[in-house]
Every structure is written in structure tokens, then in C-alpha cells.
Structure 1
Amino acid sequence: MGNQEPFWNATIDELSDGYIQSGDEYVCLLCSERFEDGIIYPMDGTLYEAKKAIARHIEEIHTSVLHFFLDLDKKYTGLSDHQNELLHYFSKGLSDKEIVKELNGGSPSTIRNHRFKLKEKEKQAKVFLALMNLLNKKADKKTEDNFVSFHKGAKMVDERYAITEEEKQKVLSTYFKQGTDGKLDTFPSKEKRKLIVLQSIVKRFDRNKKYGEKEINEILKPIYSDFATIRRYLIEYGFMNRSKDCTEYWVKN
């Protein structure tokens, strides 16, 4: 997903639904698919209005919003691998005794203790959200904590690479001297700058289209002479996916 603002700006209820309503459209927060009011969408032999269609889309493409979140990297959920595993079992409605059997170890009291700790984590999260909400109301939007959002699949991103909007614009003006629609002067060596440049380049691709390698190269050639390096980094840094036989490429949602 290229533009992360709808996802990160969504309310808890909207995130739980997996979509937002934007004007006459319902937008999937998990992949940016859009469904427009007034259009009927046929799915598996049934006709759906936009709101029902997006719910059906989430079920078919993403299984459920819960599954989508549980599959996110721990840097987004803040969950340990064990906590994530337990939440998978909780989502299935398993009892503490049943979970012990699935884990092949432990005790029901241990599972109950984990349930308690997760509830405490939920309370802490609510207080933290309230604190950040109050802070954001007072904060000047031009302050240095206005960080750039990268799509959830982006790799190499951690707290070392926190990038402000001001810093992003400086990097882009340095490497794209003719503007971000023009040619890349040089490809940066620093990880942080690579992320900024690659995020800009990937915007030149249609997110709803699959490309052959030749098509990818034709788009990248005018940007940078070593287009093969750009293509490789777009994959390595999680901005694009490709099929196992390397015949199809697409923007990673």
C-alpha cells in the first residue's frame, strides 16, 4: 500500500471494519481497493451494493481484518511471537485447556495469566492513545515529529530510519534535481535515503496492474541508467512483488 495516510489516520472502529467511507466510495484499508456507491458489484453469482461488496471483498481477499492484523510484522503490532500465537488460538474460541493441548505444554493457569496480561496491554494502549491524541491536538503540524509513513510491507525500516517530511523533501530535491517526475541523478548509498527515493519511484507504477520485466525496465530506464539496480531494490525493500518465475511484477499493497 503506497499511501498509508488513510490506514494510519483511521479510527479504531474503521480499522476494525477494514474500510473507510470517503465521499461516495468505500476504501479498503488493507489494500486500497475501492467500491463506489451506485454501482452494483457481481461476486460469486451474487450482486452487491458497495458497502456489502467491500465487506465481501475483505472476506474473500483478506480472510478477515483480524487475520490481516495478526499477520502484520511485530513492529506494527507490538506483540511477541508467543502472544501472536495465543491470539490466533483465542480467535478460534479455544478454551485454556484446548490451547495447552495445541501448544503441547504449559498449563491452563499459564494461559489465563497471558489473557490477563493482554487485557492489561489493552488498557495501557487506550491510555497511550488518549495521551497521543491530547499531544497531537497541541502539537504544531510543522514540528519535526511529522514523520513519513511507509507502506506496511516495506523492509529495512526501523526506528533508526525515522524520516520527517522536511527531511524527505530535502532528499528528493537533492537526488531528483529536475523534480520527482524527472531523472534520478545518483542512487543514494544510505539506507534512509534509499527508502525515500524508492518510495518516490514506485509512485510511477499503477497499483492495480501487473507488469512484465520488459515493461518494468521501460518505466525505469528514463529514471536511472542502472535500471536493473532500481528494479532489484524495489523488490528487496518490499515496494514491489514479483512472481516466482520473475515474469510478473506488481506494486506491493
Structure 2
Amino acid sequence: MDISEMFWTSSVDDIKRGYVYDKKKELYICLICGKTYENGVIYKRAENLYDANKYMQIHIKNNHKSVFDYLINMSKAYTGITDMQKQFLMLYESGLSDKEIAEKMMTSNSTVRNYRFKLKEKEKQAKVFMAIMDIMEENRNKGDEDKLVGIHKSVTMSDDRFSITEEEERNIIKNCFDKNNHLKDFPAKEKKKIIVLKHILKNFKNEEQYTEKQVNLIIKRIYDDYATVRRALIEYGFMDRRDDCSAYWVKN
């Protein structure tokens, strides 16, 4: 299971915490970047020693600022909040009063109170909708062919192109790649393209930066037209890069 799928299948409490514990592997796994720490191992930072659970919390603080910061900056396709609501939430989370928020946003106190009211209503709707979805899933006994694959957390859009079942994903990968994992042709159809890009992304490690030359070499082992694939990985939000193209990385 990749980190995006793990993120979407995690509980609300785990997402709020920013990490999960895999009992089978005895690992604490960061839901933001995939970094793992082994239970039972003592980790050292400066002159202090920490268990894996505490060290994961330190990792999130030092590498991702906070879970709130990561979640609030996710694509609007996933948060469902407007830019103004995002601004309000960031100010509210920082502990400012309604009056202070109104001054920062250059609006009235009543408008700020209205933001709070609408977001509380949205919270209620989300709880009811989650309950509906849980009941619906509990009442279904479909196999893997009916399960939708997880969407990469950083994709730049979310529409029916991403409505892909596990069976569809397996079949497309089987048809598009040969036995040596070499891509036969870069697909024109959006759904196939997304599955192919997601599969290619597995060749890159989270939290590692690559030069453009390294990216090209990795992709070229899979498909000769590496430039087309590299551009698509950026365009569809699977990877990011610096403006001068001096570094590329998997976008979490």
C-alpha cells in the first residue's frame, strides 16, 4: 500500500495525528511523507533519546511544521474550503480573536462570525456524510474488483479521471507495461495516463531529491521519451521541482 492509499484509508484520529502504527511491521509511518520509525528502537536527537512514537512526533514538527499546516494547504479538491475560509481557519487556529481576525482580513466581526457558523455547519454535514459512507461500505460485500484505488494526495485535480478500481489498475498496468516493466506506449487517454504515471512514480523515493539528469535516467529505463513522462509527472502533481529545474522530488 503506497502512502497516498494509506492516507485515505486512515481514521480521522490517525490523520489528525499525522501518522499510523502498523502492528504487523511494528512501524510508525508518517502519513505525509512515508517516513518510518521502528517500535522498540531508541532514536537520538542532540543529547536526548526518544522512543519511536515520540520521535515520529518530532519528525512531523521538524519536517512538516504541523499536521494542520499540511492539511490546510492540501488541494481545494480535498479540503472543500475556499481561499477566504482557508485564511480564516489559519488565523483562527493561531489563537486570534474574532476582532483580531476581522482586522487581519479587513472585514467586519459579523463576517468572521458568519465564517465560523458556516464552517460548523460544514463540520456537521461531514460527520453525517461519513456515517452514511461507513454504513454503505459495511453493507457491501464486493471483492477487490469494486474497490477504488487511492488518489495521490498532491494531484492537481480530482474528477472522474481518478475513478479507478483496483481491477482496472491491474489490467491497465498489465497491458501498458511489458514483462520487463518497460512502458510500451505513453497512453493518450487520461485514465490510463494517470495509472501509468502513478506506477512510474514507484521508482522514486519519498523525501529524496533528484537532479533532472537522474530523473531522466530513471524514466528512460521505463520509456524512451523520458521528457514527455517527466513533464506529465509535474503537470499531474505527482512530482514537483525547483524553478531552475535543479531538483525534483515526489510531491506528498
**TM-score normalized by structure 2?**
0.90
CA gap of 1:144–1:124, structure 2 versus 1, over 3 A, is farther
> What is the DSSP-based 3-state SS (H/G/I as helix, E as strand, rest coil) of the residue aligned with 2:3?
coil
Q: Hey, what does 1:235 align to over in structure 2? A: 234
Q: Hey, what does 2:192 align to over in structure 1? A: 193
Q: Can you give the 5+ residue segments of structure 1 that lack an aligned partner in the other structure?
A: none
Q: Hey, what does 2:73 align to over in structure 1? A: 71
Contact 1:20/1:26 (<8 A) preserved? yes
- After superposition, the C-alpha distances for 1:49-79 in whole angstroms (9 at most, x for unaligned) are 1111111111111111111111111111111
* Residue correspondences, number: 250
Structure 1 residues 1-253: aligned runs within 5 Å: 2-23=2-23, 24-105=26-107, 107-142=108-143, 146-176=147-177, 178-179=178-179, 181-253=180-252
Give the whole-Å Cα distance in 1 for the aligned partners of 2:139 and 2:86. Answer: 35
Give the whole-Å Cα distance in 2 for the aligned partners of 1:238 and 1:2. Answer: 16
Paired AA for residue 245 in structure 1 = D
The range that moved more, 243-252 or 182-191, is 243-252
Give the whole-Å Cα distance in 1 for the aligned partners of 2:247 and 2:96. Answer: 41
Q: Can you give the 5+ residue segments of structure 2 that lack an aligned partner in the other structure?
A: none
Give the whole-Å Cα distance in 2 for the aligned partners of 1:110 and 1:212. Answer: 47
| Root mean square deviation, CA, Å | 2.1
The range that moved more, 184-193 or 1-10, is 1-10
- After superposition, the C-alpha distances for 1:101-140 in whole angstroms (9 at most, x for unaligned) are 11112x2222222212211211111111111000001123
Give the whole-Å Cα distance in 2 for the aligned partners of 1:44 and 1:111. Answer: 43
Give the whole-Å Cα distance in 2 for the aligned partners of 1:157 and 1:123. Answer: 23
- After superposition, the C-alpha distances for 1:129-179 in whole angstroms (9 at most, x for unaligned) are 111000001123338752222211123442344222222223222211x24
Provide the identity percentage. 46
Contact 2:172/2:192 (<8 A) preserved? yes
CA gap of 1:5–1:161, structure 2 versus 1, over 3 A, is closer
Paired AA for residue 7 in structure 1 = F
- After superposition, the C-alpha distances for 1:181-207 in whole angstroms (9 at most, x for unaligned) are 521111111222111101111112233
The range that moved more, 166-175 or 122-131, is 166-175
Contact 1:198/1:234 (<8 A) preserved? yes
The range that moved more, 86-95 or 229-238, is 229-238
Contact 2:5/2:149 (<8 A) preserved? no
